[in-house]
Structure 1
Amino acid sequence: MSETPVDPGMLTFYKALSAQSPPESAQWPLPRQRKAWDDVCRQFRAPRPERLIVEDLDANGVPVRVFRPPGNDPKPGVIYGHGGGWVVGSPETHDDMCAEIADQADVVVVLMDYRLAPEHPYPAQLEDSLAVLEWMRSSGRAMGIDPTHIIGAGDSAGGQMTVGLALALREKGLPQLRGMMLIYPVLGADTETSSYLRNANAPCLTRDEMIFYLDAFLGPRGGAPWHDPKAVPNIATDLSGLPPASITVAAHDPLCDDGLIFHEKMKAAGIPVALRREPALAHSYMRARHVSAPAMAGFKAIVEATRSLAHEGRLPG
């Protein structure tokens, strides 16, 4: 673990949450896993800011939930991939976090209800991301989105989806994202890193859970997706052409080193990148922001980075 203990407020919150959706739920039948996670997240969901306009729409065949602050002028857009190991999660699990990001960063957040693994392994999630981004660029003005100011963002599995999308855009010669907000992202498939071993039984996410999610997402070990940088960004040897990125990692998280490795790769490629390391927090700390002061500070840093990347195309500071 980190030298700094897990913040007590966060730990208390997650003990209450995991009482209803425990780590062993990864072994439950998939419908039960997904319903339990949706239900428990809904129970702990904070109220949306009242001024937001929220709509469930179809974006080129992909269901999305759009969070839009009021105002007539187009605002920057955020294509958001939710966490959940590509296996669980939905607009219900990330509603309040995306609502507060939209409200506080003054952006239009498009939260994707992308296809889930293992029924739909990689590249289904990348295909859905490309479809939603094309919709945002071609039809987004009707939602108040400035199509020239779109960043990618996501937590955990959504971090992988964000980088995978940027790599796919580069590969296809399409206009690049304006920036990337990577929130305790899963970017590698090496479960023997120091942080995986140190935090094997950490709160919020265990090493065994993450191994289950990787296998569900990437399919049989050694298959093509395991060697595709769009699926496993940390194996990429060329990051040129990627947009600026802000990365936040938590010390008590098996995925901590994934973000650190990607940060170093971005620096080596000469791409603007910022790293924030949370010494007292664990995976999924955004969910504890209203009961944990360090989690709220981390969340506000995410909001500020999102605002700066989306509105100005640069990192804050």
Structure 2
Amino acid sequence: MPLNAIARAMLAHMNANPIDWASIAPQQFRAMSAGMEQPADPSDAIVQEDVDAGGVPARIYRRAEAAGPEPVLLFFHGGGYIACGISSHERLCSRLARRAECAIVSVDYRLAPEHVFPAAVDDALAALRWLGEHGGKHGLDTDRIAVGGDSAGGSLATVAAIRSRDEGGPAIRHQLLFYPGTDLTGETESERLYSDGYFLDSDFSAMCLDAYLPNPADRAHPWASPLLTPDLSGLPPATILTAECDPLRDEGRAYADRLRASGVPVRYKDYPGVFHGFVSMFGMLPDADETIADAARELQQAFAEIPA
């Protein structure tokens, strides 16, 4: 189906002043995106705590009324590995913490081009290990850890789960992935259909990948393209949520299919008529509010289940 009416109007507004991606540097885009950040909704009533997560800056979000250890989502932000951070996703993390009734630790991993692959991957694992070892000191239930993220952050979450499986933990209950990038080596049908004018343009993606993965051979590394991981068995259950009109749609679906084929429980849902990045537009785009409600419900269920 085509874009729904609200999504179409949003994209028309975004596309009214197109950016010549060939003429700007990643740092310039980083500054531009920082100028568009929106604060969290005060009604979510979230208390924050900044921490050093194994050498990686992070921020803990907890509901103001929370008492006792809470299950926790370790969250990795999107931004093409070159932009965004804790502040850009504070609104989303605060809403997820409220709706899912859990704590969230948002990770400020290093960005390219100053820090190329695998810096972000290593930061993700360092933060996960810190959470497993020290989260209890901050009111976090380290027996109930999930990992998640949007776009590039979704990819980092998958890789953190894989490396945790392979490199000694900690144990993870669930993966919550919003339109993750999982394969940087080929072109999918969704990339052909939605590579221009649907928020995540191909020229922007090329700029991000050139900055983060200056060695083209690294794009086939499983830590950059987790879909190419030889063995996906034994990973935590996953919720994978994609957007129909998104170049990354087919990568998310393919990852869901591979997880299922490897015996990993997966809930996959593709939201019709919306575009990449839509989840952050809750309060303006009803589909985003629906997606957050779905994600919160999946997290609550995962945290409530008794591990096998």
Return the TM-score normalized by structure 2: 0.93
Q: 1:41 to 1:25 in 2, by over 3 A?
A: farther
For residue 56 of structure 2, the aligned residue among 35, 56, 62 is 62
| Residue equivalent to 2:208 | 213
Per the TM alignment, residue 10 of structure 1 is displaced from its structure 2 partner at its CA by 2.8
For residue 80 of structure 2, the aligned residue among 59, 80, 85 is 85
Residue type of the alignment partner of 1:5: P
Per the TM alignment, residue 60 of structure 1 is displaced from its structure 2 partner at its CA by 1.8
| Residue equivalent to 1:292 | 285
Determine helix, strand or coil for the equivalent of 2:196. Answer: coil
Q: 1:269 to 1:49 in 2, by over 3 A?
A: same
Question: Does 1:11 find its partner at 2:42?
Answer: no
Per the TM alignment, residue 15 of structure 1 is displaced from its structure 2 partner at its CA by 4.4
Question: Does 1:306 find its partner at 2:299?
Answer: yes
Does the 8 A contact of 1:26 with 1:33 survive in 2?
A: no
Q: 2: CA distance between counterparts of 1:79 and 1:26? A: 34
Residue type of the alignment partner of 1:63: P
Q: 2: CA distance between counterparts of 1:89 and 1:23? A: 18
Q: Deviations over 1:230-283 (max 9, x none)?
A: 221111221011110000111100000101110110111111001001111100
Q: Deviations over 1:206-245 (max 9, x none)?
A: 12222222232222212xx223212211112210111100
| Residue equivalent to 1:32 | 28
Q: 1: CA distance between counterparts of 2:145 and 2:126? A: 14
Residue type of the alignment partner of 2:194: N
Calculate the aligned-residue CA RMSD, in Å.
1.9
Q: 2: CA distance between counterparts of 1:87 and 1:206? A: 15
Q: In terms of mean alpha carbon deviation, does 121-130 or 206-215 score higher?
A: 206-215
Q: 1:234 to 1:35 in 2, by over 3 A?
A: same
Per the TM alignment, residue 123 of structure 1 is displaced from its structure 2 partner at its CA by 1.3
Q: Deviations over 1:72-131 (max 9, x none)?
A: 211111110000011111112111000000011011111111100122112111211122
Per the TM alignment, residue 41 of structure 1 is displaced from its structure 2 partner at its CA by 2.3
Q: 2: CA distance between counterparts of 1:15 and 1:48? A: 29
Residue type of the alignment partner of 1:47: D
Q: 2: CA distance between counterparts of 1:313 and 1:32? A: 47
For residue 248 of structure 2, the aligned residue among 255, 260, 278 is 255
Q: 2: CA distance between counterparts of 1:50 and 1:267? A: 35
Q: 1:189 to 1:9 in 2, by over 3 A?
A: same
Q: 1:235 to 1:98 in 2, by over 3 A?
A: same
1:104-119 alignment to 2 at 5 Å?
104-119=99-114
1:94-133 alignment to 2 at 5 Å?
94-133=89-128
| Residue equivalent to 2:261 | 268
For residue 184 of structure 1, the aligned residue among 179, 200, 210 is 179
Determine helix, strand or coil for the equivalent of 2:159. Answer: helix
Does the 8 A contact of 1:7 with 1:292 survive in 2?
A: no
Does the 8 A contact of 1:178 with 1:313 survive in 2?
A: no
Determine helix, strand or coil for the equivalent of 2:247. Answer: coil
Q: 1:206 to 1:30 in 2, by over 3 A?
A: closer
Per the TM alignment, residue 31 of structure 1 is displaced from its structure 2 partner at its CA by 2.9
| Residue equivalent to 1:71 | 66
Residue type of the alignment partner of 2:59: R
Determine helix, strand or coil for the equivalent of 1:205. Answer: coil
Determine helix, strand or coil for the equivalent of 2:36. Answer: helix
Does the 8 A contact of 1:8 with 1:292 survive in 2?
A: no
Per the TM alignment, residue 25 of structure 1 is displaced from its structure 2 partner at its CA by 5.0
Q: 1:139 to 1:17 in 2, by over 3 A?
A: farther
Determine helix, strand or coil for the equivalent of 2:95. Answer: helix
For residue 135 of structure 1, the aligned residue among 113, 130, 136 is 130
Determine helix, strand or coil for the equivalent of 2:242. Answer: strand
Per the TM alignment, residue 29 of structure 1 is displaced from its structure 2 partner at its CA by 2.7
| Residue equivalent to 1:51 | 45
Residue type of the alignment partner of 2:229: A
Q: Deviations over 1:43-69 (max 9, x none)?
A: xx4524352111222222211121111
| Residue equivalent to 1:145 | 140
